[in-house]
Structures are given as C-alpha cells and as structure tokens.
Amino acid sequence: MTAGGKRSGAVFPVLAAALLGALVLSAATGPVSISPRAAFDAIFRGTDDTPGRVLLSLRLPRALLGALVGGALASSGVAFQALLRNPLADPYILGVSGGAAVGALTVALFLSADASPLLPLCAFGGAALAALAVFLLARRRSGVSPERLILMGVVVGAFLNAVIMLMVTLSPPGKIPGALYWLMGDLGLGTPRRVAVLFPYVALGTVLLYLLSRGLDLLLLGDHAAFQAGLSVERVKTATYLTASLLAGSVVAVSGLIGFVGLIVPHGARVLVGSGHRRLLPASFLLGGAFLVLSDTLARVASPAGELPVGAVTALAGAPFFLHLLRRNGGRS
C-alpha cells in the first residue's frame, strides 16, 4: 500500500499483454504479409528471406521504437505532472519537446552524423533549458498556477517552433523533407541502430523515475506539506525535472514531436492503478507503449495514399481530450 490505494493485482499482466499484443499486431500489419511460421523462422532460426528481412529490419524495430517512445513519453508526462502538481502537464504542451527538437536539429543539420549517440544528449539539453524557461516565466511569488504554466508553455513552444522553422529553412536543401517529416512525429525511422541508441536513455530515465516514486507521491501534496512531511523538496524536484527532460529529450531526438501521449496515458493509468507512483509509473510505461504502437499501426493503414505521421494520430485523439480536461479543471478552480 503506497499512495494510490487501488489494489487489483491483475492490472499489470493485462497491460503487459496489451503491449505484447500491440507489438504483434504492428509487426503483422503491412503490405508484405508475414505468416506466423515465417516470423518464427526469422526470429529464432535466422532464416534470410524477404518476409524475414521486412520483419527484422523494418517492422520489429519500428514497433519496438514505438513501445520505447510511448513508454518514455508517458513516464515523462507522469513526472512533469507530479513536479508541477498539474494534471494538464505534458512535455509537448509545456514546450519541452520543442526545446528538445531545437537541440536535436542543431546536431542533425549542422554537425551531421545520422543517429549519432550525441543526438539524444543535445535534445536533453534543449528539453531541460525549455522546461526551465517555462517554469521561471510562469513562477510568481504566490506560486505557479496551472493555467499560467500552460500559457507560458504555449508561448515558449511557439517561439521554439519559429526557431525550428528558421533552422530547417537555413539547412542544406536535401535535408528539409526528412526534417519536416521527423518534426511531425514519426516512427518510420525505426532502425535497429536507433532502437539501440534510444534504449539506454529510456532505461536510465525510467529506472531513475521509479526510484523517485515516494518523492513524487509527496510532491502531490504541495511544496510546504511535502517539506513538512520530511521530503527534501528541492532535491527531489531537481532530480525529477532532469530525469523527465532526459526522457522527453532523448525520445524527441529519434522520433520527433509526438504530442499528447504524456497527457492521455497517465490519466488512463491513474484510473487503473491510482496515483501512487510505484504502480503508476510502470502502468503508464506499458500503457503508453501499447497506445503509441497501436496509433502507429493505425497511421500506417489509415491512409491509402501513404503513411500519416503518428504524431497526427495522437494529436487527433489528444487535443479533444486536453480540451475536456481543461474545461473540467477550469470549472473546479
């Protein structure tokens, strides 16, 4: 019994099965049909034929990338929500993803090196700076109101978008289409190498956040009450802010700007397991992974002319949901 309360133990197996199911569905969906037999042979016997190559070098990396990205975005959203005591927080809305995009673009456009391990680090730097800017701009002596924070996130995000457009325009012509597609949020760049680049960052970030669980529980009480309950508030907040920025930044570096996952998924996960972070964080990771993999599968089959960027699918679902939360929240305060 940590903060959260709801105890039904079956939630985690169900969520894990959902993620697995989403991965299988994603791997099975596409123009080249792959029989279960062929998939088995390709994975366990190393059979080298067309379905096997499609599966191992295209579909599975893309699906795994989706799971990592979705899980990391959802975890980052949970952390920002606890940090700011604001259920509307999400790395995309707060402008953190925009900061990460500027950081990643700096490397991708001007220093070259595709899928460089430097990319996530620079994106992390951009994310951390953007989060800091939004937080300082929103802060007043009376504290930070949720609405003001969202407003500053939008302002900083708009400014960063302009910077992004400027950078794309100034970049070598050959790189522009790829950069634009990446910006819209895309998992199509999922190669085994990118999955390998992203994995350590996501693993580090989610484990660190999990270790901060108790502190995140107490942050929900507000700074004063958390302090009086024995928490070193500033230390936990700094660690949370850096870790959440690392997760959001490294994800943006490989998959661009995918919005609203960090907003929708934690809300869903809270309904399932409550607000205690020892359960909420793993549940959000699994749910976020499943959600993004399914969204990506949908994006691939939805349009006959070509693929939709997955960011468009998550925004189509997420923006109305955000409005709903904003209205509900506004009515209460």
Q: Which residues bind another protein (CB under 8 A)?
A: 1-6, 81, 85-87, 146, 211, 214-215, 217-218, 220-222, 224-225, 227-232, 270-271, 274-276, 329
Closer residue to another protein in complex, CB, 86/255: 86
Closer residue to another protein in complex, CB, 39/236: 236
- Smallest distance, another protein to C-beta of residue 304, A: 42
Q: For residue 140, report the phi and psi dihedrals to the nearest 5 degrees.
A: -130, 175
Q: For residue 143, report the phi and psi dihedrals to the nearest 5 degrees.
A: 115, -170
- Which residue has tokens 């309360």? 5
CB 182 within 8 A of CB 310: no
Distance between CA atoms of residues 79 and 195, nearest Å: 23
- Smallest distance, another protein to C-beta of residue 208, A: 12
Give the tokens for residue 38.
């062929």
Closer residue to another protein in complex, CB, 203/271: 271
Closer residue to another protein in complex, CB, 33/238: 238
- Smallest distance, another protein to C-beta of residue 218, A: 6
Closer residue to another protein in complex, CB, 58/221: 221
Closer residue to another protein in complex, CB, 6/53: 6
CB count, 10 Å around CB of 167?
A: 17
- Smallest distance, another protein to C-beta of residue 70, A: 22
Closer residue to another protein in complex, CB, 57/145: 145
- Which residue has tokens 């929500």? 81
- Smallest distance, another protein to C-beta of residue 154, A: 20
Give the tokens for residue 243.
């870790």
Helical H segments across the chain, by residue range: 11-28, 36-40, 50-53, 60-83, 96-105, 118-138, 146-170, 176-183, 192-211, 213-219, 223-228, 233-255, 261-273, 277-302, 310-332
Distance between CA atoms of residues 179 and 261, nearest Å: 21
Distance between CA atoms of residues 70 and 265, nearest Å: 9
- Smallest distance, another protein to C-beta of residue 131, A: 20
- Smallest distance, another protein to C-beta of residue 23, A: 29
